[in-house]
Every structure is written in C-alpha cells, then in structure tokens.
Amino acid sequence: ILNVEQSPQSLHVQEGDSTNFTCSFPSSNFYALHWYRWETAKSPEALFVMTLNGDEKKKGRISATLNTKEGYSYLYIKGSQPEDSATYLCASSNDYKLSFGAGTTVTVRA
C-alpha cells in the first residue's frame, strides 16, 4: 500500500484569502499525480493530472505544482470563495494503480 499523505487534514479560510496545501507521494515507479475536488453529495471532480517534474497547471483561481524528485505537490487557491469549500484529494499513480490521500477539507467562511 503506497503512502500518499495530505496536510493539513482541514483548514478554514476567510473569503478572499489565498491558501495552499500539500500532497506527498512515493517517487518509485511514479507515473502521474491527480488532484480532485470532492463536494458533499457530489462525485469527485478531476482538477489536474500532472506527470513531469516542475509541471504547473492552472484552472481559474486554482493551480498546482509538482516536484517528482522530492515527491510532493502543492495546490493553491487564490482569492477563496464559498464555492471552493470541498475536500481536495490527491492521488498518485504508481505501477498503474491509483493511491489516494485522505484529503484536505477546505471551508471558506464568508
């Protein structure tokens, strides 16, 4: 079982503030790093899939970076809005299996 860790487990952000959180993953036989947003009562929604060291992807106010040499990825939310409240999951693809972290639950306070 691969150890994908996310921190912090949860965080509260004031509307308009920016925030970021971490995903660490094993580098052995690494293929890709996935980020998902999972809102209550909905299905996980794919945000990014990254594979190359130094990759940086952006979707609106959300962006992510990838460091495959040290095995970590950051997800950034700029100018948080209430609709950003969700659990953000990262998953590492190693040996064609996907291992998920426990997620970071973000609550944006108006």
# residues contacting another protein (CB under 8 A): 25
Contact between residue 110 and residue 17 where contact means Cβ atoms under 8 Å apart = no
Least distance from C-beta 46 to another protein, angstroms? 4
Is residue 95 near another protein by the rule CB under 8 A? yes
The two beta strands, 97-100 and 45-50, are unpaired
Least distance from C-beta 70 to another protein, angstroms? 20
Q: Which residues pair with 35 in a beta bridge?
A: 48, 90
Contact between residue 82 and residue 92 where contact means Cβ atoms under 8 Å apart = no
The two beta strands, 104-109 and 10-14, are parallel
Is residue 90 near another protein by the rule CB under 8 A? no
Q: Which is nearer to another protein, 25 or 36 (CB)?
A: 36
Site string for another protein, 24-53 (x = CB under 8 A): -------xx-x-x-----xxxxx--xxx--
| Closest by Cα among 71, 55, 61 to 20 | 61
| List of residues contacting another protein (CB under 8 A) | 1, 31-32, 34, 36, 42-46, 49-51, 89, 91, 93, 95-103
